[in-house]
Amino acid sequence: MKIVISPAKSLNFESPLPVALYTSPCFLSDSKKVIMEVKKKSPVELADLMDISSKLANLNWHRNQVWKAPFTPENARPAMYAFDGDVYTGLDAYSIAPHKIEALQNKLRILSGLYGLLKPLDLIQPYRLEMGTKLPIGDAKNLYEFWKHTITSSLNKELDKGELFVNLASNEYFSAIDVKKLKVPVITPDFKDYKNGQLKTISFFAKKARGMMVRYILDSDAQTIDDLKGFNYDGYAFDVKHSTANNLVFIR
């Protein structure tokens, strides 16, 4: 099984690491091309490009200027311990038992506007660059165009025939994959809550549930679609009425 998730805007480079394990990103040479373009942007230009405050723009301007390879444990941090948004709250990587980390490293991939595709233990340096940012890189008009072939080709090399491919990423990030060229079907879980008597996708809860689904897959060693349907963390349950073969809906 392979799983893709989105990165997070919030980062944590302060908490003590539970393990000393790390790996290197596969596409750092491509990341360098991206960062070279981003480094040209002033704080004012970054604020406009990414629709962020001047405070965030100044922070990320500084991050861009000091970004440099090679990555080491002294100047970078494993991705699964660095990202700190709702998905990662659900994953709760800091509590994963050391003997389970290799399995997660084999299963999980994180889509990224700067790094393309990351394994959980891949080192990253602090950054903010959403995949939807309209940033031309060389002949590519935007980050989707820049990364799509690289990401899709990399996933296809890893996927075995008949292997489950589970999409737990946002639409923004999953759009960086050329689904038509993937050699396996995509299974997409959705998470919905009842609010005021109506069934709705509530962003905060859905993001956290995506992370919890990754953790459930790891905890239960899920291998099949039927295994996925057993997801029951935080009160969610599979709903056959709202689901299709490739879209699994979980409700609470």
Domain boundaries, the chain: 2-25+77-251
The answer to whether the CB of 232 falls within 8 A of the CB of 250 is no
The answer to whether the CB of 117 falls within 8 A of the CB of 125 is no
Question: For the segment 99-135, what is each residue's pLDDT rounded down to a tens digit?
Answer: 999 999 999 999 999 999 999 999 999 999 999 999 9
Predicted TM-score of the model (pTM): 0.97
Q: What strand order describes the sheet that includes 198-200?
A: 198-200, 188-195, 247-251, 237-238
Residues in a beta bridge with 117: 111
**pLDDT above 70 coverage of the chain, percent:** 100
Helix (H, G, I), strand (E, B) or coil at 80: helix
pLDDT at 224: 96
| CA distances (Å), origin 34, targets 84, 156, 180, 210, 235 | 23, 23, 26, 28, 41
Residue 196, pLDDT > 90, answer no
Residue 141, pLDDT > 90, answer yes
- Ordered alpha helix ranges (H), 78-202: 79-82, 86-91, 98-107, 143-158, 171-174
Dihedrals φ, ψ of 23, to 5°?
-135, 175
Residue 177, pLDDT > 90, answer yes
The answer to whether the CB of 40 falls within 8 A of the CB of 47 is no
pLDDT band per the 50, 70, 90 thresholds, residue 197: confident
SS3 content of the chain, % helix, strand, coil (to 5): 40, 20, 40
Residue 210, pLDDT > 90, answer yes
pLDDT band per the 50, 70, 90 thresholds, residue 188: very high
pLDDT at 201: 95
Strands 108-112 and 188-195: unpaired
**pLDDT above 90 coverage of the chain, percent:** 98
Question: For the segment 37-92, what is each residue's pLDDT rounded down to a tens digit?
Answer: 999 999 999 999 999 999 999 999 999 999 999 999 999 999 999 999 999 999 99
Question: For the segment 146-161, what is each residue's pLDDT rounded down to a tens digit?
Answer: 999 999 999 999 999 9
Arithmetic mean of pLDDT, 132-148: 97
